[in-house]
Amino acid sequence: MVLSQLLLDLQKAEVGKVREKEPLANHTTMKIGGPADILVEPANITKLEETMKIIKKHGSKWRAVGRGSNLLVSDKGIEGVVIKLGAGMDHLEIKDGIVTVGGGYPLVKLVTVVSKQGLSGLEFAGGIPGSVGGAVFMNAGAHGSDISKVLIRAHILFEDGTMEWVNNGQLHFSYRTSVLQTIRPGICLEAVFQLEQKDRKMVVDQLQKNKNYRRETQPFSYPSCGSVFRNPLPNYAGQLIEEAGLKGYVVGGAQISEQHANFIINKNNAKAQDVLDIIQHVKKTILEKRGIEMKTEVEIIGRN
């Protein structure tokens, strides 16, 4: 594949913003990550379809990202095309409790907007960073609820470049996962949620309570990717890491947060390798001490 010709074709098609060798540290909440060969921010879904046709024509590798809140990108970057769902993929329509929203729409913003209308069902997501598309992909959740409880259907771009509306059951949701991560890799372009009309003050108060809990218990002073490990229920990842004496553990510029042990913070220009080394140390330590195999919630992507 000749990247220069692919780049030229994308630019000629005017699919949106197209950048070459774009550092992905600029597009992740952890502020870590080498360059994407090509980064495309499609202007809308039609332009995304054009982008996919061009990518397929060239046989290029590709992947999509949202707001980069659950990603650890390799220091060597990502081969091929990275599609960023952002402006142009952030439409919102609310009618009779049915919310249709673009995959690039910020989840925190969506939760705030619907709560002010007294629409209940997404309060659990108060303070969860990332995009709506990423939340569907990961089945984001907290406070005993998750995306699967309120999603009706989703518009998905699958790995082969096809697009399809699928219903909740077809996504095979489970704890912090969906079929989009496993059997049918894909990304969420749009989501439709069913919310319930309730007392506005009650909904807003519950949302604020959830936001306050996050602020009090999670580190916001330094960049992070959110929770690093899945909870190996009935245990909790943060508690296991803390009990193992690993709070504050440092490799290079990365550190296990002293506030919440399931967060790794970028304290001083950390590299992806620093974070990976901490992840491996945690896995090894917890396995030796507790016999529990820790699995990452953060998605680790890019060149080896």
Q: Compute the distance between CA of residue 50 and CA of residue 14 in angstroms, rounded to an integer.
A: 9
Positions marked catalytic: 176, 227, 297
Burial readout 96-106 (b: 16 or more C-beta within 10 A, e: otherwise): ebebbbbbbbb
Pairing of strands 299-301, 264-266: unpaired
- pLDDT per position as a tens digit, 277-293: 999 999 999 999 999 99
- pLDDT per position as a tens digit, 209-265: 999 988 888 888 999 998 999 999 899 999 999 999 999 999 999 999 999 999 999
pLDDT for the residue 2:
65
Paired tokens of 184? 């049918």
pLDDT for the residue 176:
87
